[in-house]
Structure 1
């Protein structure tokens, strides 16, 4: 059965947006934003803070399982923290070897580790020894730092280290998010590893999804920015796979999206300081503008606003119901 995964996206797809997107439906698994592991054993509350779903059976409110992603470069420290995380029964533990952000890479983490396949193996093998067999242990990689000279060696190292599945963002670190994604490399990686390989990158539409599967040879696809820009994408992919028809009525989609925007705004207000709330809404609206003219109009209407009350008033004028505030659940200290 083909799988659709919601990608981890640092600073964008947090537990609030995961909640909203998985309520629309279509995803088999979501992966959390990375938790940085650097030199110390994190307390359980640190994992819960980044992935509150751990307190709900590692699932979103809609029931979608959420794997927790770790980022670091020290095998022993990652292994120790993975063992700590495993006690919270996550739906999976994932290792990040794909983040292209300079603030991560300058410390030797994320995609920079792709320059050293041997270190990838040491990290993966160390973590594998601490993760119970019943918890899926996976990794995500890019094609390399600057080129694809070590792509296959990196994939082999991760497979040998004991992962059960590998997601491949089909670009190098220096390519960042510039199109195209080189889906053909997913097929090459699949030829040298025995584990399932998930294709990731530049899937914005049902047509992109079909091309990605055809070129990569993988039925499993991870969607990131495309999911944020079009919350109904996974559901349409599922409908097509089931032999149904896709409704292209964006106005109807927007009407369905408005209460989800309202829930997003309500949850953001409960989670972040007031001075940051408007920025979070603008970030999502900025992505939605790609597909919805209504999102463009709403983005322009709130663009200069910072006050929560003013933003709420504008949302109501645009048909987005303003929900009463909710108390933010603070992770316990255990």
Structure 2
């Protein structure tokens, strides 16, 4: 079983990738998307979203990080895919699943699921541009407004030469509302011979088992579930019990340290407040914490609140 950390725009940045891969259980991370319009982007754009490229394209704990591209023009995506690989990304991932209205209005992300031929041309052109030993992968939803093209889209991506396909088991219109339709991944599986990775509505180890059984997939991608339970990947592997709240508080303290010292002030306490929004699904204490820190603007004040809830014991893998 491989477990991948999902790209989540504005949430799973390099600091969060570092944090969650230190906790452990992940085999690969995919970056937030690099938006490609009609230009070849400079290296600094890739380094900004994927600073791991400066260090062999792995997180500090050694988990590979793959650059994801989002766009609609096959040739421009191909040229930028070449840049990503030249900078050290272990292959490239193509985003055909982003549900954001602003992205879809500019013909990026999930809206392309209405254009099977465009999907084919993008993947084919990128595959031809990227060295054969570097994987080209893609992430889709089951469709835009409905699932009528789910199988056709998966076949097109397969025939275009993709090495792997992640399927978020909902349409764009369904958004993030439960349930996820894992059985549709099993239908897709009947029409493609490339590795499939199941994604969507995996919040605990029981969900993971149900998803694997219904989708026929062994490999999983975790997104919101990993933010709600930081050691979700390790619980799925049977390596740990669910992390205690005091251990989560330790993580939040460590993340505050990143915000104060690790990125020259670019990241602020509002990121911890954002994280509380995910944590409260698993930990009722997160809602209490949010109310306690809601009006605080200084990271050291937030840390002081967290220290009262912390176990002060190591929570990272290894």
TM-score range, shorter chain: over 0.9
Counterparts of 1:315 and 1:207, CA distance in 2: 30
Q: Distance in 1 between matches of 2:248 and 2:63?
A: 19
Distance (whole Å) between structure 2 residues aligned to residue 133 and residue 259 of structure 1: 43
**1:189 correspondence with 2:181:** no
Aligned residues: 311
Report if aligned partners of 2:30, 2:65 keep a CA contact under 8 Å in 1.
Answer: yes
- Does residue 4 of structure 2 align to residue 36 of structure 1? no
Alignment correspondent of 2:316: none
Asked if the contact 1:31–1:68 (Cα under 8 Å) also holds between the matched residues in 2, the reply is: yes
Contact 1:298 1:318 in 2 (8 A): no
The 5-angstrom pairing of residues 168-317 of structure 1 reads 168-239=167-238, 247-248=241-242, 250=243, 253-269=244-260, 270-271=262-263, 273=265, 277-317=268-308
SS for the counterpart of 2:287 is helix
- TM-score, length basis structure 2: 0.93
Aligned mates of 1:239, 1:160 — CA distance in 2: 36
Runs of 5+ unmatched residues, structure 1: 241-245, 322-334
Distance of 2:55 and 2:311 partners within structure 1: 28
Where does the alignment leave 5 or more consecutive residues of structure 2 unmatched? 313-318
Q: State the match for 1:90 in structure 2.
A: 89
Distance 2:264 2:33 in 1: 18
C-alpha displacement of 1:273: 4.8
Shift of 1:148: 0.9
Deviation string, structure 1 residues 229-274 (Cα, Å, up to 9, x no partner): 001111011127xxxxx535x5xx3333333222211213343756
Deviations 1:9-54 (A, max 9, x none): 1111111111111111111111111110111111111101101111
- Aligned residue for 1:282, secondary structure, equals helix
RMSD over aligned Cα, in angstroms?
Answer: 1.7
Output the TM-score relative to the length of structure 1.
0.89
Judge conservation of contact 1:66–1:92 (CA < 8 Å) in 2: no
